[in-house]
Amino acid sequence: MEPTEVLPIVAIVSIVTVEFGGHALLRFITTDSGRLGAFRERFFRAGHAHAGVLLVLSLVYLLYLPRAGFPDGLEWLCGGILLAGVLAQSGGFFLHLAVGEEGRRSSGTLLTRTGALLLGGALVALAAGLVRAAGS
């Protein structure tokens, strides 16, 4: 199978997990009010929101990826880096919620920043491929 056939399936299935996370967040807020605390609730929301938005971005990215004219191996690499970036950036918020402290950096902060770099790299690679393909 082609990377642009497999990776969108991964992204769509991942969106289902984000929906479950939204349900869990709603339950925490409405029935277990105060259980998370303001700090943890803020990072739960941030992780959840980033995951949802970035997974939708990944679906758009994967629609444009074939237009870049990359070989399959490079498509797998770019798509994999993009999805790893989504997981790292949103996962970093959840990690910080678990191990972090208010106003301090943690391994979650590092993971979130690493995710941003991965996402940026994947986006720049796609943009470069699209520019190259348009000039051909």
Query: What is the number of structural domains in the chain?
Result: 1
Distance CA(11)–CA(86), nearest Å, equals 10
pLDDT at 60: 97
List, in order, residues 6 or more apart from 79 with CB less than 8 Å away.
3, 4, 7, 61, 62, 65, 122
**Model confidence pLDDT, tens digit, residues 33-84:** 667 788 888 888 899 999 999 999 999 999 999 999 999 999 999 999 999 9
**Model confidence pLDDT, tens digit, residues 74-124:** 999 999 999 999 999 999 999 998 999 989 999 999 999 999 999 999 999
pLDDT at 32: 66
Q: List the domain range (segments joined by +) for residue 23.
A: 3-135
pLDDT at 59: 96
Distance CA(100)–CA(80), nearest Å, equals 28
Distance CA(20)–CA(35), nearest Å, equals 18
CB 113 within 8 A of CB 79: no
Distance in Å from the first CA to the final CA of the chain: 27
